[in-house]
Structure 1
């Protein structure tokens, strides 16, 4: 069967939808096992994630974090690089955001602190991605190994800073002091209130809008710029790209810097937007989940947004399910694992069948015409 005869919407749109549907069907068996009606569970999760303003706000708040980490993985993947270090890059990027809020927050309003925090978060995240990128391009050290190692280094560094440097003497908690309130990002419900629209409060803040801008930036950069073309060329065939005159070292480093920069923006949403202080393990696995988000979204910004929304639904809907039925919140981890399993490891299981069905239907349509 000729792959060129299969339109993109089948492999990019329909196939992921089928995979997610099968993951949810398998999840239904899990709910039956724990004596919960699957339809009731879906209703509770849907209502909790999208049924009221506060729940929707939490869903989009989680979505924002997944957009940053998913885009970071996707950009690297286009150059053939599997960036497992998004967790550490988001951690160090958050350090940059937090330091800006701790220093400038006392003397400047949020609209001054925010752009500086964007620069600091991006620079810190990019800096943490630079050495693994250089080692991959110059020394042949595999990017997966080096980025995983840098996750552990980032965790140890942050633990040291929070325990010995940033922790106030008046507390035993492993966290920095609270940022000055003037540096906090405005919540979306406050913005709506300014226009006379009353919305229930939630952690959703204006970094969500910045995340959407990042989606547009990645789309323009990867598919409508010279560097983006070179990145995709390296990812498709590094030897052919080198023969064509594309500098492998430069492109790998640039790609990883941008990937680390996007990961570093994670702290804007969580630290400046919600926690208002640097806390231990504030990334909470969002960097690793970003890998699944990128895979599900086929490394395209539109797909990353939709996949991020799905995982935001699972996070918020799972919390509502836990509250309603008293089930362990780890059930959400199981649901995520099933989605990742069918969208990642078993991604191609249904592809041949879908392609045959499409070609059969297409051929019959052509014959009728």
Structure 2
């Protein structure tokens, strides 16, 4: 049965909501199995993520990274490309942000440095996505394989650079020097302080606003430009798009460049915003979680932002849960995330046929009533 049997709002909003509800129901059974009251666990997670200002700040901080990587994956999905290299693209993008800060933090003020660091992160992320995009378009190499390989290459490259090039002499930890204060993004509590508003300190910073603007950019690109039409056409029917005059090879490379650039902006939040220096493993799986975010958000920027906040809630709430229940393995939160991914991804169509039948029956009933 086609999607025409189900309203767009149900496909975009109701179906993901039902999938998430089902995932949480199964998660409750898991908690009961290990001897923890699922209601109490849910209360701890919700309070830890949304119950106080610092918790909200952490939730939105994590959500910022998921927005960038979710948008990266969603753009590629729109073109029929499965870019699962957001992890590596975010890693190399963060390197670009960090190198720009290290080179210019003592020479430029913040307002002049920020555009350069953003551009550097985007360029580094885009270039890391360029080679898989080129190989897919002109050599027939599958994008899934190449992007996975480049994730591991990015990890190895970062280890080499941090240990042998960027680490300070006489220091054991593989981290760069701390950036000058003028290079670091202002935190949200500092920004609110400029307007006389006092909120608790948290890692949430200006990158959250940049992430929202990036989502707006993707919405404009996909649904209000000729390029966006070409991207969606290629994703829906490559053969028809080719007959319509769209060059799939050129467009594949362009899409991967933009996709990698958006993933590269993770470095703005993690490197220039939170850490104030380059560290190993700052991506922390954000690129892979972005796949689930894009699936849950149905490839739409608004849905991706909401899904990112949900995963931010799981990250922060899970940390609070592990603190309240020391005997609880921290990986139980990973299990909950996996269930959300499972029901919103692999098992998405388990409920979809029933929803389609329901709305088809409602439509048929209305039609019969109108005819009578």
Answer whether TM exceeds 0.5 for this pair. Answer: yes
**Structure 1 residues 49-198: aligned runs within 5 Å:** 49-198=49-198
Instruction: Kindly state the Cα deviation for residue 103 of structure 1 after the two structures are TM-superposed.
Output: 1.1
Report the TM-score when normalising by structure 1. Answer: 0.98
Aligned to 2:351: 350
Aligned to 2:48: 48
Q: Give distance in 2, aligned partners of 1:2 and 1:281.
A: 43
Instruction: Kindly state the Cα deviation for residue 365 of structure 1 after the two structures are TM-superposed.
Output: 4.4
Asked if the contact 2:89–2:128 (Cα under 8 Å) also holds between the matched residues in 1, the reply is yes
Residue 204 of structure 2 is aligned to residue 204 of structure 1: yes
Residue 341 of structure 2 is aligned to residue 337 of structure 1: no
Residue 290 of structure 2 is aligned to residue 315 of structure 1: no
Instruction: Check 1:131–1:274 CA distance in 2 against 1; reply closer, same or farther (3 A cut).
Output: same
Residue 250 of structure 2 is aligned to residue 250 of structure 1: yes
SS at match of 2:349: coil
Aligned to 2:296: 296
**Structure 1 residues 270-289: aligned runs within 5 Å:** 270-289=270-289
Instruction: Kindly state the Cα deviation for residue 320 of structure 1 after the two structures are TM-superposed.
Output: 0.8
Aligned to 1:305: 305
Q: Give distance in 2, aligned partners of 1:86 and 1:304.
A: 15
Asked if the contact 2:5–2:359 (Cα under 8 Å) also holds between the matched residues in 1, the reply is no
Instruction: Check 1:104–1:294 CA distance in 2 against 1; reply closer, same or farther (3 A cut).
Output: same
Aligned to 2:360: 359
SS at match of 1:348: helix
**Structure 1 residues 24-39: aligned runs within 5 Å:** 24-39=24-39
Gaps of 5+ in 2: none
Instruction: Kindly state the Cα deviation for residue 216 of structure 1 after the two structures are TM-superposed.
Output: 0.4
- Which segments of structure 1 move beyond 3 Å, counting only runs of 4 or more? 361-369
Deviations 1:187-244 (A, max 9, x none): 0011112222110000000110000000000000011111111111111121221122
Aligned to 2:269: 269
Asked if the contact 2:59–2:316 (Cα under 8 Å) also holds between the matched residues in 1, the reply is yes
Report the TM-score when normalising by structure 2. Answer: 0.97
Instruction: Check 1:2–1:61 CA distance in 2 against 1; reply closer, same or farther (3 A cut).
Output: closer
Asked if the contact 2:54–2:202 (Cα under 8 Å) also holds between the matched residues in 1, the reply is yes
Q: Give distance in 2, aligned partners of 1:124 and 1:67.
A: 18
Q: Give distance in 1, aligned partners of 2:2 and 2:182.
A: 59
Q: Give distance in 1, aligned partners of 2:66 and 2:5.
A: 33
Gaps of 5+ in 1: none
Aligned to 1:228: 228
Instruction: Kindly state the Cα deviation for residue 367 of structure 1 after the two structures are TM-superposed.
Output: 4.5
Instruction: Kindly state the Cα deviation for residue 175 of structure 1 after the two structures are TM-superposed.
Output: 1.2
Instruction: Kindly state the Cα deviation for residue 110 of structure 1 after the two structures are TM-superposed.
Output: 2.1
RMSD over aligned Cα, in angstroms? 1.2
Deviations 1:265-302 (A, max 9, x none): 00000010001111111101100110111011111111
Instruction: Kindly state the Cα deviation for residue 40 of structure 1 after the two structures are TM-superposed.
Output: 1.0
